[in-house]
Structure 1
């Protein structure tokens, strides 16, 4: 059976409304991302031709690249956000560690939709932070956030997944 012809129950998005926190996080993540785009545009002529493009596990710069790579970074962030935004609207197509039935579908879909929504917003913020971090280092305004970025990536994307899995297991029991 094809993923697009799932026999799982379909539930309208109205039943899976976002919480106030989810709407707040969406607005904040978009504002932070737009702010990073504006910052890049404003500082573009001031940026050197070569900016930090890759960081090691300890936060040290281990590759420099064209400042255009910062634009690519933002484009990738938007692309991931949009892809996850679309995916968020079709929870019956998501992959679940439990069997989805009529009785647990609404709860499972709500958990999965919430997870995708949270992660898409965190990813948008992380791409904005990575762009700003590279700019701060390139402009010699400081050392950037170095060691903090990698744990933020793991915490911002890993913990929500673990939390959602635990909640799904409770729904299944």
Structure 2
């Protein structure tokens, strides 16, 4: 297939994102490792829309959250290496494919960073709540997360529509 022959070489943006994801991934394991012995046996594992804990479980769940964060972030990063697998809304020329592949890759990289940092924030706050330093997540967590999650998608869709 022709679309699979187009290769987008990693640029500075890609390298910075990879560095950020590696750093975030390390923190997702170092923070629970550091605090694990201090955590009570039961910790918050779910928060409502207002950021208050409404579900509790064993402290080992902190590792599951860290693993989910890393799998999602690095899975998305790996997906960007194959932009031909993405779904595009129209038949496109080779020149347009290059542009759309780049936009798709950038959108996905931005989403990987947002997801990684969101889960890192959840791990940090779960530790803080479990140790009674905080009562819950910020009241602004949910709206900020939604804005951060949708912003790259809207931005790159708009760019691709303007680049016809």
- The alignment's TM-score, normalised by the length of structure 1, stands at 0.85
For the residue of structure 2 that corresponds to 1:103, the secondary structure is helix
Match of 1:85 in 2: 77
Describe the superposition over 1:18-61 as per-residue Cα deviations: whole angstroms up to 9, x where unpaired. Answer: 344x4334323432342242121111111001111111111111
Return the match for 2:5 from 3, 10, 21. Answer: 10
Match of 2:144 in 1: 152
Match of 1:42 in 2: 34
How many pairs were matched up?
164
Return the match for 2:102 from 94, 106, 110. Answer: 110
Q: For structure 1, which runs of at least 5 residues remain unmatched after alignment?
A: 1-5
RMSD of aligned residue pairs (Cα, Å): 1.8
For the residue of structure 1 that corresponds to 2:44, the secondary structure is strand
Q: CA–CA distance in 2 between the matches of 1:144 and 1:100?
A: 47
Structure 1 position 53 matched with structure 2 position 45: yes
Q: CA–CA distance in 1 between the matches of 2:52 and 2:114?
A: 23
For residue 144 of structure 1, report the CA deviation from its aligned partner.
4.2
Return the match for 1:165 from 145, 154, 157. Answer: 157
| Residues 29 and 66 in structure 2, CA contact (< 8 A), matched pair in contact too | yes
For residue 107 of structure 1, report the CA deviation from its aligned partner.
0.7
For the residue of structure 2 that corresponds to 1:52, the secondary structure is strand
Structure 1 position 128 matched with structure 2 position 123: no
Describe the superposition over 1:87-146 as per-residue Cα deviations: whole angstroms up to 9, x where unpaired. Answer: 101111111234322120111111001111111121111111111111100001123433
The farther-off stretch of 79-88 and 52-61 is 79-88
Q: CA–CA distance in 2 between the matches of 1:104 and 1:86?
A: 22
- The alignment's TM-score, normalised by the length of structure 2, stands at 0.89
